Structure formats: structure tokens, C-alpha cells
């Protein structure tokens, strides 16, 4: 009698879907189960376009049933807790307990507000389709309120943070403001868009950072750098050592992310809900658990620092994790994780951006080609996740 190995994959983001695809192709005798909160996958790198109203949500979504193998059994539910000593996962809605021989934990990320008062309650966050859609609905509501009342506080918007998501959101917003001005009847100069954070795009060199800042300033963004937001309310933010008050009805929080809260709840050794994994992508405490994607902290051996979580690295982590499960089951030598970057790309709206280290070469680009390159990288990632249909969808 053939004995099948039960493999449970948690999360259908970049890492989870790639793991499912590679497991289904592995020719191993596996029962593969995928658990995800929603029935769809989405391009997390494009959520800011939905939040700004530049893209319809369906344009960045894919039905899981359409992009997974029939060898994968899909369960739509949330994970309540992982009972790691019992090799089981309890689901939140159905209360079902799923047993596994091997676990691929790819639970994804959540916004991190660092305990800032009011941030969770009043700030708009960009971490999934639902809140990105709700963000844009809030923006529209505030613009409509301005149109009815003439209260210019509703034309004041703050973006908290200075990383890739912050800059890309700013780029989308400045592209939308002229359209909003025509529709809701205000002068573009009356719209105040402010970015507050410790720095801007620190992963880029000085020349490219300066280009991004100049471009955004030219299109109306005011930067307050070297400062932190201390609190958020429904009328604005308090920032800086002198507790400056900046009135704003719309505040986007893009200042950081952490891994899923299920990580801490399930007793993993973690920092900000990310687990420092072994070089074969296994948990440091449980050899039958592979931790990949936004809940994994992978060290760059050349610098001693952890790689930032990205879609690119998540796909490569999934590849190595599946390869090492196959090595384990076939008594072969495991493969250590090495990362080959396709480049770091920041689009500043649909017409310009900055990029470096494209395809592993020391190439730096600035200007109109960058958004196209970002889309090509997405299409390659989509193909690796789910094949040609997914790559052609967007």
C-alpha cells in the first residue's frame, strides 16, 4: 500500500503559491493541502495602485482555483494557531484541525505601527485587497466632503514612512491629484500631500534618492524627513520632538510591516513575527517546518544582515524549501539558500521611477522605462507562481 506524505501549505502569496506549484511538479507521493483566508491571490506589490484609485482591484487578483494544480486541495479559512509539537493546525472559522507531516509556513505580512497612538484606529493601511479598496473609498469620501463643505482639511493628506511602498504610493497619488481637482472642483495647489519619515528610499544611492525626491516635490509633495510621527487622530498627526501638529483628514501608514501574528501566538522564536530560519529554510526548532516568505528572516551571509522581505525572495525561498523537502525524502544532500536578485525597482507612478542591479548586473536606471521593467518583473513572478495564464492576466 502506497503511503502518502501529508504536506500543508499556509498562505497563498508569492511563497505559498510557488511552493504549491513546485510540490505538485515534484513527482513525490504527496497529499498537498493549501489554506488561505481568501479564494484569490493578489499582487501585493501593486496594492498602492488600488489604494490610490489608479487600478481596479480585479486587475491584480487571480482566483486560486484557476492557478493551482488539481493535485492541491484548497481550503478557504484562516489559521488560528499552529500546534507545532502535535504537527497540526487549527483553523479559525471551521475549527477544523489539520494534521501534517511537513509544513510550509507562508502566512504573509501585517502592518506594523510600532505602538504609535491612534495609528491602528485612524490611519489607512495597505496590506491586502480589502483595506486597499477601503482606503480609496475613504479618499473619495473625503474629497466629496470637501466638495460639499469647502473645508480644506479634507484636501490635506499625509503619508507616513519613506520606503518603497511610501514612495510608490506618493507616485500614484500625484498622478491622481489632477483628475481629482477636475472632478471635485479644487485648485491643484490647494491639495497638500506631505510625507513624514526618517528618510526616503534609503536602499537607493544618493543620486537616485535625489531624483525621486525632486520628481515628487515637483508634483506637489512636501517632505518632512528626519522626523517620526508620534500620534495619529481623525484630524491629523503629531510629529517631531516639538510635537508639531499637521492637520490632515487622510493619513496613510506605510512605515513598516511585520510577519503574521500567528507566528508569535504559535510559539515560534521570532522578532516582529519573523523567524530566523536555517539555510535550508527549515525552522530552527522543528526540522519538518519550512518557513518562507514574509514570516521568514533569511540572513545575507555577505553582510550579516537579513534580507528585506520581497516577492522575488519569497519565490526563491519556496524553490529551495521544496528542493530540500525532496532531498530529505529521497535521502539526498540539502541545498543552502542563495539569493539572486532581479533588481530593486521603485515606480513613481505610471511614467517614471528608479531601479538598480537589474538581473544581477550593476545597472542603474532612472526614468520612463522603470514602470515597464517593474511590470515585466511582475509578469515573470506571476509565471513562476502560476504559469502563462497568470503572467498574461495583467
What whole-number distance in Å separates Cα of residue 19 and Cα of residue 10? 10
> Of 288, 331, 268, nearest to 8 (Cα)?
288
- With vertex at residue 249, the alpha carbon angle to CA 245 and CA 255, rounded to the nearest 5 degrees, is 70
User: Is the distance from CB of 262 to CB of 293 less than 8 angstroms?
Assistant: no
What whole-number distance in Å separates Cα of residue 135 and Cα of residue 357? 33
What whole-number distance in Å separates Cα of residue 110 and Cα of residue 105? 15
Give CA torsion, residues 314, 328, 69, 281, to 10 deg: -10
What whole-number distance in Å separates Cα of residue 86 and Cα of residue 99? 8
Sign, CA dihedral 162-165-167-173, equals negative
> Of 245, 250, 242, 212, nearest to 231 (Cα)?
245
3-state DSSP of 346-385: EECCCCCEEEECHHHCCCEEECCHHHHHHHHHHHHHHHHH
Burial class (CB in 10 A: 0-12, 13-18, 19+), 29: exposed
3-state DSSP of 33-44: EEEECCCEEECH
What whole-number distance in Å separates Cα of residue 374 and Cα of residue 171? 14
Give CA torsion, residues 34, 37, 42, 44, to 10 deg: -110
Selected catalytic residue, list 80, 112, 168, 384: 168
Catalytic status, residue 168: yes
Distance of CA 92 to the CA centre of its chain: 23
User: Is the distance from CB of 317 to CB of 15 less than 8 angstroms?
Assistant: yes
Which residues have CB under 8 Å from 149's CB, separation 6+? none
Which residues are catalytic, by number? 168
Amino acid at each position: 500500500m502506497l503511503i502518502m506524505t501529508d504536506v500543508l501549505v499556509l498562505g497563498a502569496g508569492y511563497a505559498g503559491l510557488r511552493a504549491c506549484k513546485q510540490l505538485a511538479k515534484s513527482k513525490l507521493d504527496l497529499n498537498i493541502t493549501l489554506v488561505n483566508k481568501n479564494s484569490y491571490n493578489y499582487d501585493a506589490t501593486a496594492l498602492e495602485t488600488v489604494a490610490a484609485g489608479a487600478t481596479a482591484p480585479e486587475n491584480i487578483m487571480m482566483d486560486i482555483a484557476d492557478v493551482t494544480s488539481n493535485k492541491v486541495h484548497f481550503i478557504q479559512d484562516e489559521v488560528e494557531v499552529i500546534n507545532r509539537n502535535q504537527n497540526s493546525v487549527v483553523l479559525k472559522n471551521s475549527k477544523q484541525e489539520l494534521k501534517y507531516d511537513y509544513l510550509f509556513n507562508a502566512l504573509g505580512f501585517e502592518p506594523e505601527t510600532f505602538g504609535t497612538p491612534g495609528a491602528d484606529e485612524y490611519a489607512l493601511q495597505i496590506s491586502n485587497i480589502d483595506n486597499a479598496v477601503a482606503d480609496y473609498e475613504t479618499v473619495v469620501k473625503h474629497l466629496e466632503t470637501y466638495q460639499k463643505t469647502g473645508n480644506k482639511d479634507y484636501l490635506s493628506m499625509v503619508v507616513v514612512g519613506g520606503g518603497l511602498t511610501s514612495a510608490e504610493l506618493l507616485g500614484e497619488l500625484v498622478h491622481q491629484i489632477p483628475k481629482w481637482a477636475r472632478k471635485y472642483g479644487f485648485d491643484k495647489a490647494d491639495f497638500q500631500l506631505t510625507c513624514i519619515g526618517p528618510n526616503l528610499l534609503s536602499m537607493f544611492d544618493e543620486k537616485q534618492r535625489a531624483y525621486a525626491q525632486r520628481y515628487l516635490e515637483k508634483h506637489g509633495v512636501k517632505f518632512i524627513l528626519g522626523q517620526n510621527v508620534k500620534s495619529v487622530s481623525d484630524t491629523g498627526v503629531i510629529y517631531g520632538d516639538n510635537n508639531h501638529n499637521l492637520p490632515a483628514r487622510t493619513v496613510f501608514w506605510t512605515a513598516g510591516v511585520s510577519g503574521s501574528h500567528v507566528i508569535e501566538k504559535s510559539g515560534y522564536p521570532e522578532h516582529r513575527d519573523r523567524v530566523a530560519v536555517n539555510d535550508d529554510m527549515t525552522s530552527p526548532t522543528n526540522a519538518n517546518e519550512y518557513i518562507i516568505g514574509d514570516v521568514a528572516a533569511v540572513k545575507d551571509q555577505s553582510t550579516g544582515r537579513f534580507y528585506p522581505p520581497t516577492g522575488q525572495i519569497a519565490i526563491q525561498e519556496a524553490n529551495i524549501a521544496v528542493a530540500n523537502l525532496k532531498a530529505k525524502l529521497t535521502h539526498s544532500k540539502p541545498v543552502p539558500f542563495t539569493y539572486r536578485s532581479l533588481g530593486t525597482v521603485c515606480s513613481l507612478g505610471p511614467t517614471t521611477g528608479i531601479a538598480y542591479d537589474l538581473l544581477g548586473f550593476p545597472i542603474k536606471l532612472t526614468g520612463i522605462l522603470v514602470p515597464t521593467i517593474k511590470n515585466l518583473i511582475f509578469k515573470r513572478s506571476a509565471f513562476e507562481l502560476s504559469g502563462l495564464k497568470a503572467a498574461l492576466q495583467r
